[in-house]
Chain A
Amino acid sequence: MSTTIIWTIAIIALLGLVLAVVLYLVAERFKVVEDPRIDEVEKVMPGANCGGCGFAGCRAFADAAVKAPNLDNNYCPVGGNEVMKKVAAILGYEIKEKAPMVAVVRCNGSCEARPRTNDYDGYASCRVKAALYSGDTGCSFGCLGCGDCVSACQFGALSMDPATGLPVVDESKCTACGACAKACPKAIIELRPKGPRGMRMYVSCVNKDKGPSVKQACANACIGCGICFKTCQHGAIVFENNVAYIDPAKCKFCRECEAMCPTGAIHGVNFPKPIDKDAIKARIKERNAKAAEAAKAAAAEPKKEEA
């Protein structure tokens, strides 16, 4: 009886030993040599696996960052400069600090401003709707309102406002991963720099149609009148295809364009004081009068030179 037990223990112990040796040899033979820094970098990443950096997940990003010669093309929008500094410290690289970004919805066509021209009863997805037709309003560029961006956001930063039918970005939650911008079939959502103390100016419309038909479709749209372009003293307004665009790199936050816009398509957000349109308009008028005088004087001068 006892010999059976002894034999059993002995055989199992021997078997264990042999298998352990085999496993050890196999592990040594097929060992995958991996840079230990990949693990280190992955540890400091936010771990959202959102794909905002352009890689499949945080580990893929870490892998790419370790292999890259510098960090110029690798940037984690979710972690921002803080995380990138840590990554740079591990890898011994330098980073170029980037301005924090935020998603901006560039459509202003609320339910009242943009009346419905037909009812959509198909599958509730912006992608499907956009493939079928121009949408249930007169505007073929605007928000379709099915919320593809909301379902694309992993951070809960987007929600549909039932009053306007438009998505709203919660700035405190938005990590600028860009998933919503990719999900939007109308390319309405844009990642823009957050701006100093969160101050931002942007044109909340992407309609490229000509003025009269835009006006018919939506009361809040950019009608392409070009007043903002003429008003701006900083060359920040790009005017193309009947729609204005504010270049965030050049904008000086003077809010003159916002005051002059006839349809209210230009939005300024997070400013400490509410806009005083009359004061700004008076200022512009004065400046224009001065400029006109100067032009008159300049027109008179060349004659003297010629003489």
Chain B
Amino acid sequence: MSRRTFSMGGVHPADNKISRDCKIEVLPIPETVYIHLGQHIGAPAKPIVAVGDKVKVGQPVAEPGGFVSAYIHSSVSGTVKSIAPRKDLAGNPQMCIEIAVEGDEWLEGIDTTDTVITDFPDDAKTSLEKIKAAGIVGLGGATFPTHVKLTPPPGKKCDMLIINGCECEPYLTSDFRTLLEKGEQVAIGAAIIKNVLGVDKATIAIEDNKPEAIKHMNEVLANLRKISSKYAGISVMSLMKKYPEGGEKQLIDAVMHRQVASGGLPIDVGAVVQNVATALAVYDAVQKNKPIIDNSVTVTGECFPKQANLLVRVGTPLRYIIDYLGGMPADAAKVISGGPMMGKAIANLDAATLKGTSALLFLTKKQTARGKEGNCIRCGKCAEACPMGLEPFLLNRLSRAGGMLDQLEKNAVQDCIECGCCLYSCPANIPLLDVIRQSKAQVMGVIKARAAAAAAAKK
């Protein structure tokens, strides 16, 4: 048992990793895929195909729409049927490329074999270009374009690369299965990222509720070190299970004992964090020339008849996945994209998966029922649980009072990582996060407007 973890707050929700023994299974290709143009944080991508065009698997269909943006590739081969707004997971219309599938023809140059290539180019620039061209985004949830993250601002130096294999959310097992089944590829991906950043040390951080993964990764790294000196400096670190360990700032605290200041970035303390799935995607991009066209998705829930970890093509309609596994269970009341703590309830099952979709979780009415909201009894449990050291009870009151944005900013509402620990620990069932998330968005808007005004004044 490891005792190493982050220093402030956190909660211990039940693990519920009921799909942990399910091997990653390849989902058959659906008849139609819907590829969203906004699959990442930042500007939506701009389509570079027209209706009626024939596309192949791995062919770029959209180019970055700004600096913080990413390429998007066709996940199937077929004909572009339409480029039009379509309702996303939250029910809001988003631009989508609809592709009717015909066969499974891959773009030339993509290596589709399973051979593991351990030797990678030394030139960081080539790797970075390949990562950018493959449209890789952070697959841990935030979907921040990886090539931007791997280009530290001038003057900032990276001391350590952390590969995030915590998967601290209950129910999720796709990263765990990836580590077990594609551990070698992940390790090589980590070495490539390490090379791009030019750092000496990399740590693959795994929570101690996944001992098989820790053991397997240690073996994989020992073997790789024998092959090449490029794999020196990569180690596995076992962390104590605690939610939200996979949060970027929490993970840096746990691994390096360094704290990122309010409003700061991980690079300020010399850290870069990348998810396990992102490391695998980097391996695919650099070694196999394969862009992100699929990702592993955990489909789980006590009420769901069949647990599974599926390799799903980007843009697969959710209903297709559910039907493949035996249809919607009658007693499922809520379907969540992601884990139960930070995932979002899905309003529209006709929507399609995105690059960052990590799980589909089915919960019953009993599991999702909210208790009746009571009065705050000032017990301070929310403040104790908050991993960012905020005071959720205070933020809640300020938010509900209305028009207190300056006070909210003073109390650092913008630091909230929306992990839900406060809501989870509140004995009065106060919807703390729902309220705080709203005022966080408002305060972020004010901060951005202020920064824009300052930048305009400088000019």
Contacts and interface: CB of A to CB of B under 8 A. Distances in A.
A125 B396 CA distance: 13
A128 B434 contact: yes
Interface in B333-392: 344-345, 347-348, 368-370
B115 interface: no
Contact of B347 (A125, A131, A133, A209): A133
Contacts of B93: 140, 209
B435 A128 contact: yes
B90 interface: yes
Given A118-B347, A121-B368, A133 B434 contact: no
Contacts of A134: 87, 90-92, 347-348
Contacts of A125: 434-435, 438
Interface string A209-252: 10000000000000000000000000000000000000000000
B431 A122 contact: yes
Contact of A135 (B91, B434, B437, B438): B91
B441 interface: yes
Residue among B87, B92, B93, B347 facing the most chain A CB atoms (10 A cut-off): B347
B441 A133 contact: no
A8 interface: no
Contacts of B90: 132-134
Nearest to B433: A123
A142 B19 CA distance: 39
Interface in A35-94: none
B347 A122 contact: no
A117 interface: yes
Contacts of A136: 347
B438 A117 contact: no
Contact of A117 (B344, B347, B431): B347
Nearest to A139: B91
B431 to A, nearest CB: 4
Interface string B278-322: 000000000000000000000000000000000000000000000
Interface residues of A, number: 16
A140 B92 contact: yes
A293 B219 CA distance: 90
A192 interface: no
Contacts of B87: 134, 140
A267 interface: no
Nearest to A209: B93
A122 B91 contact: no
Nearest to B368: A121
Consensus secondary structure, chain A interface? loop
Nearest to A208: B93
A131 B92 contact: no
B438 A121 contact: no
A194 interface: no
A128 B91 contact: no
A120 to B, nearest CB: 9
Interface string B435-453: 1011001000000000000
Contacts of A209: 93
B368 A123 contact: no
B62 to A, nearest CB: 22
B322 to A, nearest CB: 16
A68 B412 CA distance: 38
Nearest to A151: B402
Contact of A123 (B92, B344, B369, B435): B435
A111 to B, nearest CB: 18
B56 to A, nearest CB: 31
A118 to B, nearest CB: 5
B438 A127 contact: yes
A132 B434 CA distance: 9
A69 B56 CA distance: 68
B434 A123 contact: yes
Contacts of A121: 368-370
A159 to B, nearest CB: 20
Interface in B89-121: 90-93
A133 B88 CA distance: 10
B406 to A, nearest CB: 14
A136 B347 CA distance: 8
Contact of A131 (B345, B368, B437): B437
Contacts of A118: 347
B441 A131 contact: yes
Interface in A128-167: 128, 131-136, 140
B337 to A, nearest CB: 11
Nearest to A134: B91
B91 A133 contact: yes
A135 B345 CA distance: 12
A243 to B, nearest CB: 14
B419 to A, nearest CB: 16
B431 A123 contact: yes
Contact of A128 (B92, B347, B438): B438
A301 to B, nearest CB: 44
A132 B344 contact: yes
Contacts of B369: 121
A135 B368 CA distance: 18
A131 B440 CA distance: 11
28 contacts: A117-B91, A117-B347, A117-B348, A122-B431, A123-B431, A123-B434, A125-B435, A127-B438, A128-B435, A128-B437, A131-B437, A131-B438, A132-B344, A132-B345, A132-B434, A133-B90, A133-B91, A133-B344, A133-B345, A133-B347, A134-B87, A134-B90, A134-B92, A135-B91, A136-B347, A140-B91, A140-B92, A209-B93
Interface of B: 87, 90-93, 344-345, 347-348, 368-370, 431, 434-435, 437-438, 441
Top 9 A-B pairs, shortest CB-CB distance: A134-B91, A133-B90, A123-B434, A123-B431, A133-B347, A134-B92, A128-B438, A128-B434, A122-B434
